[in-house]
């Protein structure tokens, strides 16, 4: 396009004055730590808060729900770097080592809302001075220490997570940041807690709610008890509040059961809301990782591995792109109108790719108007 028209979309849309090779870009980025761009995430959240858009993400007691979960985004038996985790094979196995990258990606979620907002990730990478492999639990602890104070600026926060996070040290770290928590609490990993519940079974409160699902009924049975020890120990044992939900169909079959530990005081009036918020943690997997891996972002694709930070930095850029696109759906009328028509993200990205191959646009607004006119969309003045 530069050769035939004397202009190109890289310059007009992205401000790139000189187009360089992909290898040169990778070499430049390899030395840049992901933490250099991490502040952008919280800056966007501050802007959303100041503009009032963050209010729709608040749930019980006006808390923002942040779900934590880990994922693997790179795997290879040949390509590796100093930031790779390594899975060593047993003795006598001829297969090479397995190299991989993982991260913990906190996400703003809300029950009933399919738009999630990712925050800065924390990468599961070998730590200086440690002979042990890094893990999701340790990465989550680092995330709280690194970003806890800045995230507190958004207002009241409740952390959501699976059973891995429901341990006293991480609960104490959550409380130290003045956050709340609703964490999955399984019997097999919290034997002391469930031993107490078995002893107190006559005092456990119960609530039953029937729901009409359009064609059939479901019954939610809640059980809860406040102030039980999260583990055994003679001193400084954290007490948590426990609740359980069991969902049955009209035939009496159990179709869902889960239990949670929280610092929120549980009552008959709020137990259903607390459980609903706790179940929203699944959105980290369904509306975050699933979209990033299967809906056009290709998170698991090796865009460039490098020798230092490249793989982690490009994964961070991937999350930033997802965040920017989601924010545009919230705040930009033209973008939101087009996305309502082109619901599938892959289709939307394909339209952008084709258009930028054949037309040079002066700016993004011109491209949005072109697409609105071409799709013959109504509801906004495309001029």
Taking only the tens place, the pLDDT of each residue in 287-298 is 999 999 999 999
Residue 383 has pLDDT above 60, yes or no: no
Residue 90 has pLDDT above 90, yes or no: no
The residues of the chain that CATH labels 3.90.350.10 are 31-331
Per-residue pLDDT tens digits for 222-274? 999 999 999 998 789 999 999 999 999 988 999 999 999 999 999 999 999 99
Residue 191 has pLDDT above 70, yes or no: yes
Instruction: Decide: residue 233, CB within 10 A, 0-12 exposed, 13-18 middle, 19+ buried.
Output: exposed
Distance (Å) of CA 236 to CA 172, 181, 230, 231, 340: 11, 19, 11, 10, 53
pLDDT of residue 82: 87
Instruction: Please name the residues in contact with 53: beta carbons below 8 A apart, sequence gap of 6 or more.
Output: 330, 331
DSSP strand pairing (217-229 vs 205-212): antiparallel
Q: Are 101 and 315 in contact (CB under 8 A)?
A: yes
Q: Whole-angstrom Cα distance, residue 163 to residue 183? A: 6
For the chain, the maximum distance between any two Cα atoms, rounded to a whole number of angstroms, is 81
DSSP strand pairing (98-104 vs 70-76): antiparallel
Q: Are 308 and 31 in contact (CB under 8 A)?
A: yes
pLDDT of residue 381: 61
Q: Whole-angstrom Cα distance, residue 293 to residue 150? A: 28
pLDDT of residue 94: 57
Q: Whole-angstrom Cα distance, residue 35 to residue 53? A: 26
* Among 250, 249, 243, residue whose Cα is nearest residue 272: 243
Residue 46 has pLDDT above 90, yes or no: yes
Buried b (16+ CB within 10 A) or exposed e, 269-291: ebbbebbbbbbbbebbeebbbeb
pLDDT of residue 214: 82
Distance of CA 271 to the CA centre of its chain: 24
* Among 329, 337, 327, 334, residue whose Cα is nearest residue 49: 327
* Among 166, 171, 56, 71, residue whose Cα is nearest residue 111: 56
Instruction: Please name the residues in contact with 367: beta carbons below 8 A apart, sequence gap of 6 or more.
Output: 13, 352, 355, 361
Residue 382 has pLDDT above 60, yes or no: no
* H or E segment to which residue 246 belongs: strand 239-248
Q: Whole-angstrom Cα distance, residue 361 to residue 363? A: 5
pLDDT of residue 133: 82
Q: Whole-angstrom Cα distance, residue 260 to residue 271? A: 11
Average pLDDT along the chain:
93
pLDDT cut 70: percent of the chain above it: 96
pLDDT of residue 130: 61
- What are 260's strand-pairing partners? 184, 243
Per-residue pLDDT tens digits for 345-375? 999 999 999 999 999 999 999 999 999 999 9
Confidence of residue 29 (pLDDT cuts 50, 70, 90): very high
Query: What's the CA dihedral at 168, 171, 172, 176 to 10 degrees?
Result: 180
Per-residue pLDDT tens digits for 126-182? 887 566 789 999 999 999 999 999 999 999 999 999 999 999 999 999 999 999 999
Q: Return the half-sphere exposure (C-beta side, CA atoms, 13 A cut-off) of residue 12.
A: 17
Per-residue pLDDT tens digits for 94-114? 566 889 999 999 999 999 999
Q: Whole-angstrom Cα distance, residue 117 to residue 42? A: 11
Confidence of residue 87 (pLDDT cuts 50, 70, 90): confident
Q: Whole-angstrom Cα distance, residue 243 to residue 253? A: 20
- Return the SS3 of 247: strand
Residue 55 has pLDDT above 60, yes or no: yes
Q: Whole-angstrom Cα distance, residue 259 to residue 127? A: 33
pLDDT of residue 8: 95
Q: Give the CATH fold of the 31-331 domain.
A: Transposase Inhibitor Protein From Tn5; Chain A, domain 1 (3.90.350)
pLDDT of residue 93: 55
In the chain, alpha helices (H): 2-5, 9-14, 22-29, 39-51, 136-151, 168-176, 191-199, 271-279, 283, 290-294, 310-331, 333-341, 345-358, 364-374
Per-residue pLDDT tens digits for 302-354? 999 999 999 999 999 999 999 999 999 999 999 999 999 999 999 999 999 99
Confidence of residue 380 (pLDDT cuts 50, 70, 90): low
Instruction: Please name the residues in contact with 265: beta carbons below 8 A apart, sequence gap of 6 or more.
Output: 226, 241
pLDDT of residue 238: 96
């Amino acid at each position: 396009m530069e050769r035939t028209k004397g202009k190109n979309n890289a310059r007009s849309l992205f401000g790139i004055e000189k187009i360089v090779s992909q290898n040169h870009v990778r070499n430049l980025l390899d030395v840049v730590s992901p933490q250099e761009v991490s502040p952008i995430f919280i800056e966007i959240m501050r802007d959303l808060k100041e503009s009032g858009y963050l209010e729709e993400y608040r749930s019980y007691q006006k808390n923002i729900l942040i779900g934590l979960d880990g994922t693997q985004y790179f795997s290879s038996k040949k390509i590796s770097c100093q930031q790779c985790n390594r899975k060593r094979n047993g003795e006598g196995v001829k297969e090479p080592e397995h190299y991989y990258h993982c991260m913990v990606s906190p996400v703003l979620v809300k029950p009933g809302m399919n738009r999630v907002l990712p925050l800065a990730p924390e990468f599961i990478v070998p730590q200086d001075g440690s002979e042990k492999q890094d893990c999701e639990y340790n990465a989550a602890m680092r995330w709280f220490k690194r970003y806890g104070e800045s995230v507190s600026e958004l207002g009241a926060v409740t952390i959501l997570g699976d059973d891995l996070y429901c341990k006293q040290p991480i609960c104490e770290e959550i409380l130290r940041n003045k956050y709340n928590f609703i964490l999955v609490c399984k019997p097999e990993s919290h034997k002391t807690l469930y031993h107490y519940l078995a002893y107190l079974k006559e005092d456990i409160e119960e609530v039953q709610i029937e729901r009409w699902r359009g064609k059939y009924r479901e019954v939610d049975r809640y059980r809860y008890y406040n102030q039980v020890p999260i583990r055994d120990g003679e001193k400084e044992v954290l007490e948590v509040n426990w609740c359980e939900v069991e969902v049955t169909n009209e035939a009496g079959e159990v179709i869902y059961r889960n239990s949670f530990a929280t610092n929120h005081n549980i009552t008959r009036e709020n137990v259903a809301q607390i459980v609903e918020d706790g179940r929203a943690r699944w959105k980290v997997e369904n509306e975050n990782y699933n979209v990033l891996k299967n809906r056009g972002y290709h998170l698991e694709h090796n865009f460039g591995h490098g020798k230092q930070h490249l793989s982690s930095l490009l994964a961070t850029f991937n999350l930033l792109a997802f965040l920017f696109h989601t924010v545009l759906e919230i705040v930009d009328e033209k973008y939101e109108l087009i996305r309502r028509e082109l619901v599938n993200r892959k289709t939307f990205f394909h339209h952008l790719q084709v258009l930028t191959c054949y037309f040079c646009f002066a700016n993004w607004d011109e491209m949005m108007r072109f697409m609105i006119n071409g799709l013959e969309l109504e509801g906004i003045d495309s001029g």
